[in-house]
Chain A
């Protein structure tokens, strides 16, 4: 691309300040419109019928009695969504997950849906849909699913990535391997070796807003979708593919989003809503209940991980090995592979080997959750690192500093690193007051590092300058946490004008070119790059206009401090012209002034963090309290520091919940027992202390302002930091996440024996 994304050091005027966000008033007054806050005239209400069996064949579905209910306008099953996936297994998995075709694969799997004039009619109709199931044996546990006598979910799955390819089907869909060197040789050189197995339970992203949409299909092939999503362009493409619509004829508007964290990067019931609307020829509003969100939208993987690390007396790690088994739900995916890539990413290793195994089980289809797969791998590795440090008699932080990756290190997943921040975050942790604070009774301290890739992606931005000199930026990257403020700061910086003159909005799919979704910590990184590019293009247009107005050559007009200036003295003493001055003349100098950018932001780099926490454990009950928590992370350049702090604190809080309490609990019957916020207990206000943050700024060489992605990395260290803290508090290694009171008590009792 012609846009030069290289970092240029410069003093900042707007970037790095903390103004009020532009969408703040709407959100504190209840005016902001989320997925469920939109209505269309004549709309119907949808309800989905879901399987109460973990694994069963669908022998038949009779919807006739449901269709006869007064007020019901459409009933759909899989026959209303014919298979247009053309052999694409990933797309087929999406289709089958939206509405089951031949088998139900988990408790909560959709089998039919109804659209009616009101809730009562829809609910009544749902009860009259007759489904004839042939119940099959199910398997829920990641390790149980790999045993030879486990029920096989899909007879067409033969483990890929194994030579030779097996001849019997199994629940292990894929094997992947990463690393370099020779771990056998490495372990032989070690003076100390620690080997341990770990387990982590399944958790949910836990966004407070359930999935909601309004779908409206017209007989002429056009359609509209209002939906809470992290990627309206992605949703458009997938829904168009599954419904046989032309993408350009499906207009998707992203509402404000009430949390996503990766869970709203996948479609869940939107194709069903569109199918209902198409059949009824009326708009259809579909909102998932909280129970449906837990039962039928993406949780993370549950995992079982073996780690072995060896080191010399002087603390040099000689070999590191991990085998990671991750569940993906009923369909093959790449979650274990991601875990295998991130496991040892923080370290400089001569000999390393990681193997990832994807395991299918009768649980909901796994979705991305904020640095997907990394937190579990980090838990297993960082726990082992801690144990090894203790065995050698070395300080936890020093041991990590000694083995930390740096520029020039070959990563365990392949490429050689450029400039990275793991060393600095560790040094900052060592020097942080938290590290030297005294511990109270029954308290333990733990620390851990984490790593995540950041993404770039396709990004389009329109920057329009009104006749009064104010600026509108229309972007296509959904704002999940305040990025409109950051983008306005970026535009203000580049144009040299005040933040208050700028308004950022999120455009719908009909208004901009394709935008990748807001995931991979790419929101601010990519869109800021496109905004800078658009601003630079707008500046070029403004210079052209001024050249015309002053009747001087273009190359003699330069832009500085938000004004066009005449170069040198040969053009006399011209007063510089502001954006407002230039915009006021736009009608006569060539029309409205704008800058556009369609680019691919890439080379986002990687992001590191180190967390420190103090946990207090009650030895009688096993209950725990987070006494103190600190996040240290490299942001490259914090555009709006308050929102960077917010990402650090939010990711840490999710990690704390995951580490201490959150888990999916299944019964013997394969049904989810805790699909609600009462029993799926996320951290509440009284569970947490203030969360300290330290933002490091090591500029990203591939972004003009040095920005790195920040949103995800902060969920990677907490599982390990907390497990290490609890292990230190109780004197027993905690190897099963969540480290909930029953598990702590069991560990304490075991230790007594």
Chain B
């Protein structure tokens, strides 16, 4: 069970909550469950979301397993130059 912190732009799509509790083993499962609970998150999750797990930011690899007690945040995907 994880406390997932959502970036400000996502909160209105998740009943205005900043932190949401989700049970999951991988990033993929976590995001799928969030989408099921809040269908409005589907769009951002598809194109705009990166996931920070204990400070390491994952933009693409959602097969990553979630370690026990990990700090998880959903952030905006960033542009580079």
Direct A–B contact in the complex, CB atoms closer than 8 angstroms: yes
Binding site for B on A (CB under 8 A): 1, 160-161, 176-178, 205, 261-263, 265, 334, 337-338, 341, 367-372, 411, 413-418, 453-458, 516, 519-522, 600-605, 702, 712
With known contacts A262-B81, A712-B80, A414–B61 Cβ distance under 8 A:
no
Q: Kindly list 14 other residue pairs between chains A and B, CB separation below 8 angstroms, not including A178-B8, A341-B76.
A: A263-B81, A338-B78, A338-B79, A411-B55, A413-B75, A414-B5, A414-B73, A416-B54, A453-B57, A455-B59, A520-B81, A600-B61, A602-B56, A603-B61
**Given A261-B81, A369-B81, A416-B71, A334 contacting B76 (CB threshold 8 A):** yes
Q: Of residues 42 to 69 in B, which have CB atoms within 8 Å of A's CB atoms?
A: 52, 54-61, 63-64
Tell me the minimal C-beta distance from B28 to chain A in angstroms: 12
- 27 intermolecular pairs with C-beta atoms under 8 Å apart: A1-B61, A1-B63, A176-B8, A178-B8, A205-B81, A262-B80, A265-B80, A367-B81, A369-B81, A414-B5, A414-B52, A415-B75, A416-B55, A416-B71, A417-B55, A418-B55, A454-B80, A455-B78, A456-B61, A457-B59, A519-B81, A520-B78, A520-B81, A521-B80, A600-B60, A600-B61, A604-B57
A residues near B9, Cβ cutoff 8 Å: 160-161, 176
B61 close to A415 (CB less than 8 A): no
List the B side residues contacting A601 at CB < 8 Å: 61
Taking A418-B54, A418-B56, A602-B60 as contacts, is the C-beta distance between A519 and B71 under 8 angstroms? no
Within the complex, what minimum Cβ distance (angstroms) separates B5 from chain A?
7
How close is B19's CB to chain A, nearest CB, in angstroms? 12
Flag if B57 contacts A370 (CB, 8 Å): no
Q: How far is the CA of A188 from the CA of B71 in the complex (A)?
A: 30
Q: Which residues does chain B contribute within 8 Å of A521, judged by CB atoms?
A: 80
B60 close to A415 (CB less than 8 A): no
The answer to whether A519 touches B58, judged by C-beta atoms less than 8 angstroms apart, is: no
Q: Which 3 residue pairs across A and B have the least CB separation, nearest first? A: A262-B81, A520-B80, A368-B81
Task: Give the number of residues in B that approach A within 8 Å (Cβ atoms).
Answer: 23
The docked-state distance in angstroms from the alpha carbon of A205 to that of B80 is 13
Q: Are A372 and B79 in contact (CB under 8 A)?
A: yes
Complex Cα gap A603–B80 (Å): 15
Task: Please report the C-alpha to C-alpha distance between residue A696 and residue B61 in the assembled complex, in whole angstroms.
Answer: 28
| B47 smallest CB distance to A (angstroms) | 8
Q: How far is the CB of A533 from chain B (nearest CB, A)?
A: 13
Residues of B within 8 A of A368 (CB): 79-81
CA distance A334 to B75 in the complex (A): 13
- In the bound complex, what is the Cα–Cα distance between A274 and B63 (angstroms)? 37
Q: In the complex, which residue of chain A has the Cβ closest to the Cβ of B81?
A: A262
Instruction: Give every chain B residue within 8 A of A418 (Cβ-Cβ).
Output: 54-56
Whether the Cβ atoms of B58 and A603 lie closer than 8 Å is yes
Q: Which chain B residues border A413 with CB–CB below 8 Å? A: 75
- Interface flag for B7 (CB, 8 Å): yes
Smallest CB gap from A455: residue in B: B80
| B window 6-54: CB within 8 A of A | 7-9, 52, 54
Task: Give the chain A neighbours of B56 by CB distance below 8 A.
Answer: 415, 418, 602-603, 605, 702
Q: Are A453 and B78 in contact (CB under 8 A)?
A: yes
Report Cα–Cα, A456/B76, bound state, in Å.
Answer: 15
Q: Whole-angstrom distance from the CB of A405 to the nearest CB of chain B?
A: 11
Q: Which residues of A lie under 8 Å from residue B57 when comparing CB positions? A: 415, 453, 602-604
Contact for A372 among B60, B63, B80, CB less than 8 A: B80
A413→B8 CA distance, assembly (Å): 11
Q: Give bound CA distance, A261 to B56, whole Å.
A: 25
Contacts of B71 in A (CB 8 A): 415-416
A334 in contact with B81 given A1-B63, A603-B58 (CB within 8 Å): no
Whether the pair B59, A519 counts as a contact (CB closer than 8 A) is no
Point out the residues of chain A lying under 8 angstroms from B5, CB to CB.
414
In the assembled complex, which residues on chain B have CB atoms less than 8 Å from the CB atom of A520? 78-81
- A415 to B56, alpha carbons, bound, how many Å? 8
CA distance A371 to B8 in the complex (A): 22
- Closest CB of chain A to B38's CB: distance in Å? 18
Q: In this complex, which of B5, B61, B73 has the most chain A Cβ atoms within 10 angstroms of its Cβ?
A: B61
- Decide if B55 touches A457 in the complex (CB within 8 Å): no
Are A602 and B8 closer than 8 Å at their CB atoms? Answer: no
Least distance between B54 CB and chain A CB atoms (Å): 7
Nearest residue (CB) in B for A160 is B9
A603 to B51, CA, bound (A): 10
Q: Is the CB of A602 within 8 A of B54?
A: no
Cβ B79 vs Cβ A334 within 8 A:
yes
Task: Give, as a whole number of angstroms, the nearest-CB distance from B6 to chain A.
Answer: 10
Cβ of A139 to closest chain B Cβ, rounded Å: 24
A55 to chain B, nearest CB (A): 26
Question: Are B81 and A712 within 8 A (Cβ)?
Answer: yes
Separation of A603 and B58 alpha carbons in the complex (Å)? 6
Q: Distance (Å) between the CB of A36 and the closest chain B CB? A: 23
The answer to whether B60 touches A457 (Cβ under 8 A) is yes
Q: A368's closest neighbor in chain B, by CB?
A: B81
The complex places the Cα of A454 from the Cα of B59 at a distance, in Å, of 11
Q: What separation, in Å, do the CA atoms of A670 and B50 have in the docked complex?
A: 38
Checking A415, A456, A712 against B73 with a beta-carbon cut-off of 8 angstroms, the contacting residue is A415
Q: Find chain A residues with CB under 8 A from B8 CB.
A: 161, 176-178
- Contact B55 A415, beta carbon cutoff 8 Å: yes
* In the bound complex, CA of A699 to CA of B38 (Å): 39
Once bound together, how far apart are the Cα atoms of A416 and B52, in whole Å? 9
Residue of A nearest to B64 (CB): A602
A454 to B73, CA, bound (A): 17
Chain A residues with CB under 8 A of B7: 414
| Separation of A601 and B56 alpha carbons in the complex (Å) | 12
Which residues of chain A have C-beta atoms less than 8 A from B79's C-beta? 262, 265, 334, 338, 368, 372, 519-520
Given that A161-B8, A414-B75, A415-B71 are contacting pairs, would A519 and B80 also be in contact in the complex, using a CB cutoff of 8 Å? yes
Q: Is the CB–CB distance between B58 and A602 below 8 Å? A: yes
Give bound CA distance, A67 to B55, whole Å.
58
With both beta carbons as reference points, the residue of chain A lying nearest to B8 in the complex is identified as: A177
Q: In chain B, what residue has the closest Cβ to A175?
A: B8
Report whether A522 and B80 are in contact in the complex, using a CB–CB cutoff of 8 Å: yes
Nearest opposing residue in chain A for B62, CB measure = A600
CB distance from B62 to the nearest CB of A (A): 9
Quick one: given A262-B81, A413-B75, A520-B78, are A602 and B61 in contact (CB under 8 Å)?
A: yes
Q: Is the CB of A372 within 8 A of B81?
A: yes
Which of B52, B63, B64, B81 contacts A415, CB < 8 Å? Answer: B52
Of all chain B residues, the one with the shortest Cβ separation from A264 is B81
Give B73's nearest chain A residue, CB to CB: A414
Q: How far is the CA of A263 from the CA of B81 in the complex (A)?
A: 7
Residue in A closest to B60 when the chains form the complex, CB atoms:
A600
Contacts of A455 in B (CB 8 A): 59, 78, 80
Please give, as numbers and ranges, the residues of chain A lying within 8 Å of B55 by CB-CB distance.
411, 415-418
Least Cβ distance of B77 to chain A in Å?
Answer: 9
Residue of B nearest to A298 (CB): B81
